[in-house]
Structure 1
């Protein structure tokens, strides 16, 4: 069950010194299970503060949409997809016809051959799954800059209304899973026995995630015959860092202290690029997306009762969805997520971020589409 939180910002003192603050306005939908998870984390040894973002929702073992400060390093609070993040690349196309472009996207489930990347330093030497997007909420999206909300900042980033951008959301794939598994098989949900060793492996996974997003962007640009620019932002939202002598864990929360962050909506709604200026009370963090309001099983059940597969391949904003996995189409339907405008509004209300531009999807790639499309290749 979920509930709407009653206060715009609330903190509670635990039996230890750890506090919990959820940054959401009155009326914003925050599941009670997610708040409960924040308090469970706050009860861990060494925990100092837990900051819940407005996209807060329950996760496996830890809340998603939270920044957690502790004197103890807990790998489980970062999770398996270390270095997962979102990059935004300017991309220039001769003609923007979504129906045709959707059919030209490469198969991003097939990894690249490392031999095709001469001179590339591949972190941890991990070549499996390189250049692939993965499942779940990961995606690669061709989008249009819709509205400029902070003209000066947008100009500094080189963005104007009508520009096309490529948004890439993915992480460290099996490398991050391997790092977490090597910890949990010995220590379970407990703290890292050797924090320095974990952080060294973690940093490799973060670098791998950045490289993976870059490779996918290049693959798409090449397939579309487009010119790809340097990313205007590439920020991960599953990470750990040493800050002020403590460990700041982020799970589904992006660094928001002087950082430009793309906060993803859904494949059928806008996303927002924001300038983050969050302080210590918010874990120096901002939200990373709209945040789920339905579990995958609920989204699948409800979606099948309301929509056909073909209906989900075209969104309310007229964009095209490339997804050959029918179950994933339902699980990741726009209705399974919170309203992105509410999440952004909460960040603004709490002075954590300033919106710079909004984007509207044109083509969203989830997984290879096996069905032939009119106007494009298979």
Structure 2
């Protein structure tokens, strides 16, 4: 039993809370702040009945994310069902997600596989992609302007931009980009198709190596299952964060003229403001689950071996002990230190790519469409989570100019 106060969500399992669904990217559930005021972690009952710890405090969140005693293996999600529920996965799919999925591995396997791909996502490397990303966004905005005076910023702009950037860095052949978008940008998770697509691209690239991530994997010493696993994960991770953050940030800017004008009058503020974009609009209500590997106590919370632990980047990024006036969107804030991209050895591999693409998209939108106005944004009201990993759904963001 925890030494934290025995209120709803803390202490014994019969007091455990359930995941609230009344939040948005702009106004997270008020229960997170209430729980955090009592203790940095709260007992939470998952949809499957499993009881674990839901971390809302910033300092404890960072400790959990960087502590090897919280394992990435044996993941139990707080909502929905496992990714394979309703599927009968083949042996290759299971092997890929068992041996090559860095989101579910601990060192040394995690370290060995991640090292193979991380170079293509360095600051220097992704900045080298900027000219092509910039040109693509320019072309896409030209097409939208030519098509009329309205658009859905999510489906019409953010998804195509995220797909393009992902394909460029990973090395997905251009003629396969449409199929990639159909599978990986679909609203329904399709794990078997994702792995099959990754397998097909790996085969295509074997005789056509280039300067890209998939080619690096093929040049490495990873075995077939490890290669298939890491490529599948990279195809399915990160693109959705870029696609989510562009329209979500624009909703905040379009509903706050002061913030909009601050960035329009000084576009040099946009790259550093990306940190506030992702802090304030963090999409992971709960990050990838951890499992306690051994008994330990942190900040008065007694974690027991075998328990599930869910770190809320949404809640941690709104911790007033770390960020002053945390529920205010302020593009001039120094938001460095947020954990929207995770923290520690499992921090998002593609976070530097995300920063570059988000900054460029927002820059061009403010410059090209000064009369832009918000018509309707689904995400201003609570939406169902995007999957078993509870993340905010972007919905449609309709704008006009």
| TM-score normalised by length of structure 2 | 0.28
* Larger RCO (alpha carbons 8 Å, 6+ apart): 2
- Compare the two structures and name the one with the higher helix fraction: 2
When normalised by structure 1's length, the TM-score is 0.29
Structure (1/2) with the larger strand percentage: 1
